[in-house]
Amino acid sequence: MRRRFILRIRELLQLINHHIPFAKAEDWDNVGLLIGDKDKDITGILTTLDCTLEVVKEAAEKNCNTIIAHHPLIFSGIKRIENTGYGAVMHALIKNDINLIAMHTNLDAYNHGVSAMIADKIGMTNQQILLPGQQEMAKLQVFVPEAHADALKSALSEAGVGQIGDYSDCFFQLEGKGQFKPNEQANPFTGKRNKLEIVDELKLECVFQPERQAAVEEAVHAAHPYEEPAYDIYRYKVKDTFGTGIKGELEGSVVLKDWLPELKAKLGISTLKLIGDIEKEVRTIGIISGAGVSYGQDVKHHDIDLFLTGDIKYHEAHDLLMMGLTTADIEHYSENVMKEGLKELLESFTDELSIQASTVSTDPFTAI
């Protein structure tokens, strides 16, 4: 058996952030390390939907000093921590020296996140982001003598440009001629003062994340031979690989009155409420895990037969009827599938961790 390496919390956070950036979380959310020590070695990880006292006890019994929960235990500023309610959970975590990490709306936005985990559970194929987000990108256009192009490319790559999906060192170049006339104060790399100079140059184009702009400009000035390099940077938006929800298809069409009991069983939920015609035949499904009814109008325009989400209120249900969007309320607790889903996801990122899915039910409701 291959020896398992020991990772620290800091390294785990970096691993998660590489694949499912914490920056993709909503502004109101609270993700990342909520309680713990970044320099602690990880003895084991327990995945859970909610961090409760029972889950903390389970983690301690299983020698898992790290819990990764979907729902954050801490949402807003805390003025005191008493040993009651949520405070009791925090006390238990600290007493048992257990780290707590939250992966909430960043995991929701991931194309293999919670909505996709629900889709996998019910056998959906041809999955894609239901409501894709937009990502801001930056593009550099720089002109450089051909003999210095490779050195500049190398410096720019080290600064983080040219990363497109699974590809690195992505550049476009075009041959051309540049001209300039140095004045009396100039110290030209090539040419003479007060004389027009025409040189063979390449135009390089490459993309980068906007937050890297300072490093990119520094690389241009450091690696470019000219005293005053000529370059432009502009911003634009592209379709993101992150977004809201998942859209996909069942292997064949189903009639809701026959299929919904099967859906309920697969998701392990105690209640399911349909808004629309129970005799309807469906195949294309849109899913927004948790409470996604506020996206109803957007979902309506994406050509789906059935919308799955949770926490639908009475008047919201009437709104869905009015817009003709057949919807099934699958409870917020349907997100419970993420326990196994996140375990498998993390295992696909690395085999250097011992990961278990919690067996504790955190469903606050009892169906009668």
303 is in an annotated binding site: no
Distance CA 320, CA 311 (A): 13
Q: Residue 337, by phi and psi: left (phi above 0), alpha (psi -120 to 50) or beta?
A: alpha
Distance CA 137, CA 193 (A): 38
- How many other C-beta atoms can be found within 10 angstroms of the C-beta atom of residue 200? 11
Containing 180, the helix (H) or strand (E) segment is: strand 172-180
Q: How distant, in Å, are the alpha carbons of 22, 41, 42, 90 from that of 97?
A: 24, 11, 11, 10
Half-sphere exposure (Cβ direction) of 283: Cα atoms closer than 13 Å: 5
Written as six digits, the tokens of 285 are: 């499904």
| DSSP-based helix, strand, coil % in the chain, nearest 5 | 35, 30, 40
71 is in an annotated binding site: yes
335 is in an annotated binding site: yes
DSSP symbols for 48-107? ESS--HHHHHHHHHTT--EEEESS-S--S--S---SSHHHHHHHHHHHTT-EEEE--HHH
Written as six digits, the tokens of 255 are: 């009639």
Find, among 58, 69, 56, the residue nearest to 338 by Cα.
Answer: 69
Contact predicate 353/7, CB 8 Å: yes
Binding region for a divalent metal cation = 70-71, 108, 332, 335
Binding region = 70-71, 108, 332, 335
